[in-house]
Amino acid sequence: MSRKKAAKGTRSCSGRTVKAAPSSGLVYPSRPAISCSCSGEFHDVTFKVMLVGDSGVGKTCLLVRFKDGAFLAGSFISTVGIDFRNKVLTVNTVKVKLQIWDTAGQERFRSVTHAYYRDAHGMIFLFAWLTEIHENAQQDVVIMLLGNKADSTHDRKVKREEGEKLAKEFGVPFMETSAKSGLNVELAFTAVARELKHRTMKEPDEPKFQLQEYIDKEKVAGCCRS
């Protein structure tokens, strides 16, 4: 597969904050983009993944942990409107770029966030808002439910049992994560990337990728390595 450089002026490579804008001026994520590069890093395919949840559940911390391997300790400014970051992963020799959109959790930004649902390829929910996917997201969107702050009994918003029950109700994968310790953060995004790559670039004789099975297998492997 040929790999080309991104067209000059491609805004999606900037990583800058996109603030709330009038409905006529919103920029929506597009369908998968094939073969380009950002900041000199080549990739074969690009997917837009939304991080969705209430304010304070740790969406930005989760994204920073995945992208930079760091933890935002202490207080920080909440996301205003929409922000995004890029990261390239290798999935079976294919360079997959995830353009991860960090959404504002405040109620006043919900209409803006809904507009960005429409062409997202994947959605990672940190509880709440999950009931809205049927109204605002495309039917084939890849969905995962996360329970963040698993390292802290005091700070976590939802018990594990509640998360498993909600995931079962909606038929989506579930796992607990911790932006502070890094627990399952890489696994969550990698699993979504693998599912998206499989749907877009599946070989004729390649078996169907089972997202939950992959997660369970990697969890066991991780325990054996630790």
- Domain-embedded: residue 48: yes
User: What pLDDT, on a 0 to 100 scale, did the predictor assign at position 208?
Assistant: 81
User: What pLDDT, on a 0 to 100 scale, did the predictor assign at position 37?
Assistant: 53
Where in the sequence is the domain holding 147, given as residue range(s)? 11-18+28-225
User: What is the CATH number for 213?
Assistant: 3.40.50.300
User: What pLDDT, on a 0 to 100 scale, did the predictor assign at position 149?
Assistant: 87
pLDDT in tens, 14-51: 344 444 333 333 333 445 655 555 555 799 999 999 99
Summary mean pLDDT of the chain:
78
- Domain-embedded: residue 160: yes
**Residues of the chain where predicted confidence (pLDDT) is lower than 50:** 1-30
151-160 long-range Cβ contacts below 8 angstroms, 24+ apart: 151/178, 151/180, 151/181, 151/183, 152/178, 152/180, 157/54, 157/57, 157/127, 158/127
pTM score, whole prediction: 0.76
- Structural domains in the chain (count): 1
Count other C-beta atoms under 10 Å from residue 207's C-beta.
8
- Domain-embedded: residue 3: no
Contact 47, 195 (CB under 8 A): no
- Domain-embedded: residue 2: no
- Domain-embedded: residue 6: no
- Domain-embedded: residue 5: no
Question: For 226, which DSSP code?
Answer: -
- Domain-embedded: residue 4: no
Contact 126, 51 (CB under 8 A): yes
- Domain-embedded: residue 215: yes
